[in-house]
Amino acid sequence: MASALGSPSAFGQSQFAFMRGNAFEARVKADGGAELLRLVHEKLDARAEPPTSGVVPDLSAVGPEGRTARTALALREATAAGVWTLLDHPLLALEVAGSPAFLEPDAVVVHPDGSWTVVEIKSFPMLDGSADAAKVGAAARQSAVYVLALERVAARLGAEPEGRAGAEGRSAKEDSAEPEGRHAQDSAPAPKVRHTVLLVCPKDFSNLPTASAVDIRKQRSVTRRQLDRLTRIEDIADALPEGTCFSPDLPTPDLTVAVESVPATYAPECLSACELAFHCRDRSRAEGAVTSLGRSLRAELGGLTTVADVLSASRGESGDPTDPAVAALRRAAELRAEALSGGPALHPEASGHAT
Amino acid sequence: MSLITTLARLEAVDTGRAQPLATVRHRHLSDRPLVFVPLTTAGEAGAPLGALVGTDRDAPRLLVVPQPRDRDLRFAFLAELADVVLPYIDSYAEDVEAAERNETDPETGKRVKVEVELCADAPQLIVPSRAGIDFVRLLGRSMRFRRTAEQDPETPHPAPPRVPLLGRWLTHYGERARVPGSSLLLALTDVLSRHWATGQSSLEDQHLGALLAWIDPPDDESGAEAALRAELQRDAKGQLVCPPAGPATDPAFDNKLLAPAIERYDRARTALAAAEDGIEADDRLGELTAAERQIRDLVASRTRPTWDAVWRGLDLLRALPEGAHATDRWTRDRWSFTGHRDRVLAGEPPQPRRDDAVTAANKLATREREQARLEAQEALDDPLVMAGRRLAGEAFAGEVTDVVMAYSEGKRPSPRPLVTVRTDDRPHLGERAKVYRSLGGKPQAAEFVGYEGNGGNGEEQGGYGEEHGGYQSGGALDDNGALVVLRVVDKMGRGKEPETGSVPEKGDLVCFTLFEHEQRGGAKLPDPEETPWTHGGPPGETEATPQLHAPDAVTEEDVL
Ligand code: SF4
């Protein structure tokens, strides 16, 4: 779609990164996940019996719905069996803005006590025991979404009476908010989803895996709040003019009109997150929005939201001088001009007699 | 961002050109910096793919790793890099001047002055962007624990002789770059965006091509258009016309150009190894050479534009006069360089993998102190920076309207003149707040007495700070500004009458700051972590367990 709008996204993956990432993941999961289970045991659950041979259930099924159902079933069986189990690329569903989104974590491990752990395998190195904080943060946010999705599954498993696999739990929503709590009286307790995930990375400059436990409680509650606040897609769709269509096959002007009918709040952070960023940036710049330079500007500039408004207020051509934001802007403009003109050199090294 | 910076950015949007954020250059630039433009192979851990390096803008040295997964080729790259960088570093190590330093005598425990050497100048490393600094650090970390065959004949993959030493130097430079205001290792995008505000976000400023486009656009184009072109324009083959400044490459380059070239190289190597006789081998060697040539050309084509851009950026920066205190901070950099030189000469082990608690705390304290020093010095050197501090209520400037001689009480009265300054600024002056002005390069202190016409008592007033809360003026402020009464308290000599020129006179233009001009921690002395153990050493270092210096485990798939 970004390409069809004439502002193709800059995202792409180098095949070198791709190959190396895959090779590392394969290595971590080799031998029935022996190394991976060992790391989970060592870092998260050292008191449990050490894994000898892990179970790796087959999760293949037709279509995303089939795969999520297969995943849920495998989770239930593994939880009941109480043995170390590795779910390789399970598929989870999570409702986002009112429609289901499918998520595929690198792995989920079921512990002998029936609790579940999300595993993220990344190819950035853990150097002398610590990895790039920004990358760890991104991985934690990603894992938090998986944990939320797993909690939904856990809640459903807890809610369903024996023998009714796949049935939707009535109170899945409330339950997920308190995943560690016991569930309704007449059913088994919901399995526990651990809020500490395992981040597996190459050690130093090698291809040997090393891992670290990451507590994602904070990211989880932030994500949960964001998900709760999202406008439902249906509501957005309802607000659009009849017949709006986002097909990339449309002629560019039509597609542009369609895209512009959806409100967007571009900020520079979009550049590293969204494929439409160049399109939205063009639009934001064309509107002269100050936030195209950074979100923080909004707070700094009070009610002034466009470049032209701010500049004219700062020059004294518009704006209410009793508005503190306007007054501060004018003073800033004065001071800036004074310093740049080299005018009365009011700075300490140059203090001297006024003429 | 201060409001003044924000305004500058908005003016840049409006005019289509970057706007000045400084009137002087706040970082020292060497006459002969070493520019380093590295590229890595994607895959995160940063295996080097190649680099341009050197001190001559017309003749950079091109280093290439034709197959980044091959350890021997990587070692060859690092050895070549050492051949360029170490002689450059050495060329600064010998030219020294005598200096003095306070040290604790190990026997008496007393502080004594000792004569030490200080290198007259220091080598300066310039990389295109902040990611380049991280890469220098990563290279340093990957090399400093390597063992050479000479150090350890048993080592499985011995590193070329000077590689561990290069690792120690790069580590030192990478660490020094964390100290605010230091200039041993600079990222050009950081330095440029310190001095100019563009009409884009600071995130986008990290693109060297786009940043330069805003600062110095072509004649027929606005900065905004040129920046957009630098960011996005691709040629017929889908390649960025202005390649990213690295070390990461554009995925389209990796996939469309580099990967096939590396494949060709691999095939040629395999074929050569399988050659059955001399003639066949000759042929295949030809093909291998050609394949390598192709990779070299590719790496050159992606690094040369950045190389030229770095030098262009340096030209732009050189056009600004160097701030007075930048030279002072460079002296601290020279101490840092000299200190590390001494540690290497003294045969100390490489920097440990992790700092012990004391060293870590010291480094943190150093950074905080240097940050405060930098902020004060930049304001003193540059009226535009001072303007920001004035706007924030942290300084004020104005004309002296009245001077009344007064004396301290006590047996030997000293001069304590009362000086009234009329200012349009809104300093955050609390009761008896200390303020400072610069007198012949030294800070002179005064005490806030009150606002004239306001009962003479100190009253808190706001600045034009971010919250704008302080705009509502105090009673003494009208259209003619506020009248601030100060009592000068020092730097007037020992006599009863102040020395000439030591007290402002009526009509003088003065600027006082609410922040101190100098930070404690000894001017121009080396920082604790840079004190070699031969000179008392950083605490805790001697307890470092040998395992901290052990070489890394090596595996077949290593990337660095
Ligand atoms: S505003 Fe940002 S996140 Fe939303 S569509 Fe535009 S670029 Fe994407």
Res B541 pLDDT > 50: no
Confirm whether A134 is domain-assigned: yes
In this prediction, residues A55-79 reach a mean pLDDT of 87
In this prediction, residues A36-50 reach a mean pLDDT of 87
Pairing of strands B111-119, B34-41: unpaired
Question: Picking from A285-299, B236-250, B261-275, B525-539, which range would have the lowest pLDDT averaged per residue?
Answer: B525-539
Res B196 pLDDT > 60: yes
Gap from CA of A236 to ligand 1 centroid (Å): 15
Strands, E assignment, chain A = 85-88, 92-96, 99-103, 107-110, 116-121, 196-202, 209-215, 352-353
Share of chain B above pLDDT 90, in %: 57
Torsion sign over Cα B39, B40, B46, B47: negative
Asked whether the beta carbons of B24 and B320 are under 8 A apart, the reply is yes
Residue B478 is predicted with a pLDDT of 52
User: Greater confidence, A301 or B82?
Assistant: B82
Over residues B24-55, the pLDDT tens digits come to 999 999 999 999 999 998 865 668 999 999 99
User: Greater confidence, A48 or B404?
Assistant: B404
- Measured from the Cα of A277, ligand 1's closest atom is 7
Res A186 pLDDT > 50: no
User: Greater confidence, B92 or A176?
Assistant: B92
- Contact at CB, A332 and B553, closer than 8 angstroms: no
Highest mean pLDDT among A260-274, B284-298, B481-495, B539-553: B284-298
- Nearest CA, atom 7, ligand 1: A277
Residue A34 is predicted with a pLDDT of 86
Residue A65: CA count within 13 A, CB half-sphere: 2
User: Greater confidence, B447 or A169?
Assistant: B447
> Å from A293 to nearest chain B CA?
4
A28 lines ligand 1 (CB under 6 A): no
Pocket-testing residue among A279, A280, A282, A285, ligand 1, by greatest number of atoms within 8 A of Cβ: A280
Rounded Cα distance, A41 and A190, in Å: 22
3-class DSSP assignment, residue A233: helix
Residue A249 is predicted with a pLDDT of 80
Res B304 pLDDT > 50: yes
Share of chain A above pLDDT 90, in %: 15
Rounded Cα distance, A283 and A237, in Å: 21
If you average pLDDT over every residue of chain B, what do you get? 85
Q: What's the ipTM?
A: 0.82
- Domain B383-513 sits in CATH at 2.40.30
Select from B473, B513, B238, B309 the least CA-distant residue to B392.
B513
Asked whether the beta carbons of B137 and B171 are under 8 A apart, the reply is yes
* Residue range of the domain that includes A127: 15-229
Q: What is residue A114's DSSP assignment? A: S
Residue B133 is predicted with a pLDDT of 95
- Contact at CB, B558 and A205, closer than 8 angstroms: yes
A8-36: burial string, b at 16+ Cβ within 10 Å, e else = bbbeeebbbbbebbeebbebbbeebbbbb
Q: Is B92 exposed, middle or buried (0-12, 13-18, 19+ CB in 10 A)?
A: buried
- Nearest CA, atom 1, ligand 1: A266
Residue A35 is predicted with a pLDDT of 87
> Å from A46 to nearest chain B CA?
25
Res A190 pLDDT > 70: yes
Highest mean pLDDT among A195-209, A216-230, B75-89, B450-464: B75-89
Res B479 pLDDT > 70: no
Res B459 pLDDT > 70: no
Residue A354 is predicted with a pLDDT of 37
User: Greater confidence, A179 or B174?
Assistant: B174
- Contact at CB, B437 and A269, closer than 8 angstroms: no
Contacts of A328 in chain B (CB under 8 A): 3, 391, 464, 468, 471
Residue A252 is predicted with a pLDDT of 82
Residue with tokens 């938090």: A144
Length reported for chain B:
560
Share of chain B above pLDDT 70, in %: 87
In this prediction, residues A185-202 reach a mean pLDDT of 80
DSSP-assigned states of every residue in B242-301: S---SSSPPHHHIIIIIHHHHHHHHHHHHHHHT--SHHHHHHHHHHHHHHHHHHHHHHHH
B446-460: burial string, b at 16+ Cβ within 10 Å, e else = bbbbbbbebeeebbe
DSSP-assigned states of every residue in B311-343: HHHHHHHHTSPBPHHHHHHHHHHHHHHHHHHHH
Torsion sign over Cα B259, B265, B270, B271: positive
**CB pairs A-B closer than 8 Å:** 209
Residue A313: CA count within 13 A, CB half-sphere: 24
A117-153: burial string, b at 16+ Cβ within 10 Å, e else = bbbbbbbbbbbeeebbeeebebbbebbbbbbbbbbbb
Contacts of A325 in chain B (CB under 8 A): 468
Phi, psi of B482 (to 5 degrees): -105, 150
Res B275 pLDDT > 90: no
User: Greater confidence, A342 or B146?
Assistant: B146
Residue B519 is predicted with a pLDDT of 79
- Number of independent structural domains in chain A: 1
In this prediction, residues B430-447 reach a mean pLDDT of 90
Stretch(es) of chain B classified as CATH 2.40.30? 383-513
Residue B455 is predicted with a pLDDT of 44
Confidence band for B480, pLDDT divided at 50, 70 and 90: low
Res A282 pLDDT > 50: yes
Contacts of B468 in chain A (CB under 8 A): 302, 324-325, 327-328
Q: Which residues contact A21 (CB under 8 A, 6 or more apart)?
A: A123, B43, B44
Residue B525 is predicted with a pLDDT of 47
Residue B36 is predicted with a pLDDT of 97
- Nearest CA, atom 4, ligand 1: A264
Question: Picking from A196-205, A282-291, A317-326, B193-202, which range would have the lowest pLDDT averaged per residue?
Answer: A317-326
Length reported for chain A:
355
Contacts of B513 in chain A (CB under 8 A): 348
Res B500 pLDDT > 50: yes
- Contact at CB, B204 and A271, closer than 8 angstroms: yes
Q: Is B129 exposed, middle or buried (0-12, 13-18, 19+ CB in 10 A)?
A: buried
Contacts of B10 in chain A (CB under 8 A): 290, 293, 307, 310-311
Over residues B51-77, the pLDDT tens digits come to 999 999 999 999 999 998 888 898 899
Over residues B329-385, the pLDDT tens digits come to 999 999 999 999 999 988 888 888 888 888 888 888 888 889 999 999 999 999 999
Phi, psi of B265 (to 5 degrees): -60, -45
Among A13, A18, A274, A336, the strongest candidate for a mutation testing the B interface, having the largest count of B CBs within 10 A, is: A336
Res B511 pLDDT > 90: yes
Residue B559 is predicted with a pLDDT of 59
Question: Picking from A5-19, B254-268, B280-294, which range would have the lowest pLDDT averaged per residue?
Answer: A5-19
Residue B45 is predicted with a pLDDT of 62
Residue B542 is predicted with a pLDDT of 41
Residue A163 is predicted with a pLDDT of 44
Residue B301 is predicted with a pLDDT of 94
User: Greater confidence, A48 or B342?
Assistant: B342
Query: Structure tokens of B548?
Result: 């901290």
Res B540 pLDDT > 70: no
Q: What is residue B352's DSSP assignment? A: P
Helix axes B208-215, B188-195, angle to 10 degrees: 30
Over residues B314-337, the pLDDT tens digits come to 999 999 999 999 999 999 999 999
Rounded Cα distance, A63 and A12, in Å: 26
Residue A347 is predicted with a pLDDT of 45
